[in-house]
Structure 1
């Protein structure tokens, strides 16, 4: 089945020219590339690294590991339901408020989840906090793609996603995983998650001033790359 696509939309998505190595190299010289990478380092790194040990932390709120694992499974399914729901809501909100605001919403929700995780002592409360994972992921995914689409030339959108998001995220996992493991053993889960939440909050506030605004402007391109 062939689906007709509006010509204006097609021109916004599909680049007329292919990206060259000069275009990719030019990305590293742009301020917008590094401010986006800073957001990924300060917020996205912690989301995925902290989540690795979150099940171990979660089950400490229950009388036995078996009950804890069972409840975590239920809440994991519920979190996916929340993510499914917000994946239908988030695009409208991000389109209305802009992808920068969407990224900031993600950061504040993540910060609240980890700070809250470090402070609460109730199994019910930690269960409610766990559900915010679905909100985080829906806003993060929608906002990332929208931010790249608006602020970077469509020739380098895919490269920007691979280099500025995926690759940086993998590097962060390698760097932060041993450090977070050390902090878990040294300080305990609660103190470590509280510190992570404060770190995310700090980088989110910085990103509010550094990330590109929400208005559609001329995207980042390698203007003089071939010169």
Structure 2
């Protein structure tokens, strides 16, 4: 593999980093306050919010497999991402003139229409952007974690800005998302390096040969016959999906309740969220070193342990300072799951199918869990409150930790992808 003296001289690293930076900025500026918007601005109950998230997950579930299969076929081509980005540019008009009015006039119809759009433009797009960046990192000699950290940085800046702008009007953040998506489109269409000399300087020829052998549709479908795949799916359903319900569907409003007014709570949440994601960006650059030091398997186990502690602590801590400190544990946890699960897949499975495998294991499995549990957990919260619900979720994640200890393979066992010393 070819490396430059400085990663910032690598144009492929810059392209991957900027694409993640722009995408996560466009996503984070509205997504970080989506649950608060639904509950405090539109007045929906926990069960109704759970229904919206269930529809989101159900549609995203199908789209992720479609997007993953298409991107594996396309390799490094950006045609799919360009189409997705054009849809993202429509967020401001959609939320202002279609989504909010439909939710108010016909909740069920609005929830379904919104889920189709959000899944197409953002929810299924996130792992697609990540999968392409990871593929570029193997092909052109840079650490995926370093590029992915720019996505977290963009999300952090977006969340910080949104914390102030949201209190003025939620629709400001929706329209700003459309503006940032325009920048993403410009990058994808105009920012590709085509100079053969530069390509030859950074390209890993072995990866080029491997990428040239495009997987057939039969090979893509074959992943569903792998027993090890389904073990990982169960693990993600018991951990990542429950955590997503906790973090997106419940925590934002739970946190803002500690403050005297909703406006103060919204601003505090935006600041806290941005601090956490800034730390996440740092962790993204550090986790690859951790994986090399202690191994991928142990890194994944650490991530699940942090998840168990964080959710359980939110059910026990009773003051905003303590909850804020607990929230910051999200940084190492997210970085570990975003990078270690991906590295586990590229270590033990065929890297030609990395996009499909990542979609199925890390993303689709999570969506299945959300489909099953979003509405029940929303109703459980309505019945017993946030704290007790958090303790229930924490207990389930602890079971996932035990399960992971027995099913995760060692780093030198069944290496069917890229070895750790590559």
Scaled by the length of structure 1, the TM-score of the pair is: 0.88
Q: Root-mean-square deviation (CA), in Å?
A: 2.0
Q: In structure 2, what is the equivalent of residue 106 of structure 1? A: 303
* 8 Å Cα contact 1:117-1:193 kept in structure 2: yes
Partner of 1:146: 343
Structural mapping, 1:1-227, within 5 Å: 1-2=198-199, 3-7=201-205, 10=207, 14-15=210-211, 17-52=213-248, 53-215=250-412, 217-219=414-416
Runs of 5+ unmatched residues, structure 2: 1-197, 418-422
CA distance in 2, matches of 1:96, 1:64: 46
SS of match in other structure, 2:243: helix
**183-192 or 20-29: bigger deviation:** 20-29
Structure 1 residue 97 displacement after superposition:
1.9
Tell me how far apart the structure 2 counterparts of residues 106 and 217 of structure 1 sit (CA, whole Å): 22
SS at match of 1:39: helix
Larger-gyration structure (1/2): 2
SS of the aligned residue for 2:315 comes to helix
Q: Is the 8 A contact 2:238 2:369 kept in 1?
A: no
SS in 1 for 2:351: coil
Q: What is the Cα deviation at residue 57 of structure 1? A: 0.7
Cα deviations by residue, 1:57-109 (Å, 9 ceiling, x for unpaired): 11222233232222111101101111011111111101222222222111111
Deviation at 1:213, TM superposition (A): 1.7
Q: How many residues align?
A: 218
Q: Which has the higher helix share?
A: 2
- Give distance in 1, aligned partners of 2:395 and 2:414: 32
How many angstroms apart in 2 are the aligned matches of 1:199 and 1:137?
Answer: 18
Shift of 1:16: 5.2
Counterpart secondary structure, 2:239: helix
What is the rounded CA distance, in whole Å, between the counterparts of 1:102 and 1:75 in structure 2?
25
Name the SS for the 1:213 alignment partner: coil
Under a length normalisation based on structure 2, what TM-score does the superposition of the two structures give? 0.49
CA contact (8 A) 1:101 1:214 kept: no
How far the C-alpha of 1:40 sits from its partner, in A, is 1.0
Q: Distance in 2 between matches of 1:206 and 1:153?
A: 24
d(CA) in 2 for partners of 1:198 and 1:54?
A: 17
Contact 1:61 1:121 in 2 (8 A): no
Q: Which ranges in structure 1 are unaligned for 5 or more consecutive residues?
A: 221-227
Is the CA contact 1:113–1:132 (under 8 Å) kept in the aligned structure 2? yes
Counterpart Cα distance in 1 of 2:343 and 2:298: 11
For 1:107 and 1:133, the matched residues in 2 are separated by 11
In 1, Cα distance between equivalents of 2:294 and 2:355: 24
Q: Is the 8 A contact 1:150 1:216 kept in 2?
A: no
Q: Is the 8 A contact 1:97 1:214 kept in 2?
A: no
Structure-1 separation of matches of 2:360 and 2:403: 22
Q: Which has the higher contact order (CA 8 A, sep 6+)?
A: 1
Q: Could you tell me whether the CA contact under 8 Å between 2:299 and 2:340 is conserved in 1?
A: yes
When structure 1 is superposed on structure 2, of 58-67 and 191-200 the one drifting more is: 58-67
